[in-house]
Amino acid sequence: MGQLDGRTAVVTGGSKGIGLATARRFAAEGAYVFITGRSKPELDAAVDSIGAATGIPGDVSDPADLDRLFEAVRQAGRTVDVLFANAGGGAIAALGTVTEQQIDYTLGLNVRGTLLTVQKALPLLNDGASVILTGSSAAVAGAEGLGVYAASKAAVRSLARTWANELRGRGIRVNTVAPGPIDTPGVETMAAETGQALHDLRAYQAGRIPLGRMGRADEVAGTVLFLASDASTFITGTEIYVDGGENQI
């Protein structure tokens, strides 16, 4: 018997990285999963690897795409037990060089996109549902070049606190998972944007971690599963770091 038998989960940004690892874990535990992604080929491949899943192409910063996502859930005759608002990203730029476009992109994706995702899911969320947001250890690390990204993830953490309070009457729990350096395709993107060799970037990231390595997407997925399951029914409004001790020791 799986921890999510008979439940319906929605995972944004579910075509790769942490989102894909989590969607696979949800399905393995008995859930039917709806995932989003901006790349149709990646999304199709992800659905094939998950099994019990439907892929809806879209960008969470576009309200029309979110409407299509939740309409697909509704048309399938389902309501939502677990919402993992995971899609995110952002530009890397220091204070002196960050552009208005980079600010708008990062805040639009991480803050506006997360807010609209949860807002548009509300009519379909079952009482007692679990909502999990993706934060980041960057929100407290003060890493150079990540000021806007870190601020956007701090905003996500703040939203989780407010929503946990606003939705308590329906028994809906809202929590945040804050990954540290995780070895996902995003690391390759960061290396390309910063001009670093991928090997050097991975070594630098691992050197900051007390456990001496970068994390894996499935390790974050395990924490998200915990927050989605009945094992965490007395946990809401909190943030769980999955950072190998980076910001804890």
- Residue indicated by tokens 């990540």: 146
Residue in 32, 105, 149, 241 annotated catalytic: 149
Instruction: Please give the structure tokens belonging to residue 235.
Output: 């946990």
3-class secondary structure per residue, 48-60: HHHCCEEEEECCC
Query: Does the annotation mark 204 as catalytic?
Result: no
Taking a C-beta distance cutoff of 8 angstroms, is the pair 36, 12 a contact? Answer: yes
Number of helices (H), then strands (E), in the chain: 10, 7
CB atoms within 10 A of CB 126: 16
The per-residue DSSP string of 97-141 comes to T--HHHHHHHHIIIIIHHHHHHHHHGGGEEEEEEEEEE--THHHH
Active centre residues (catalytic):
149
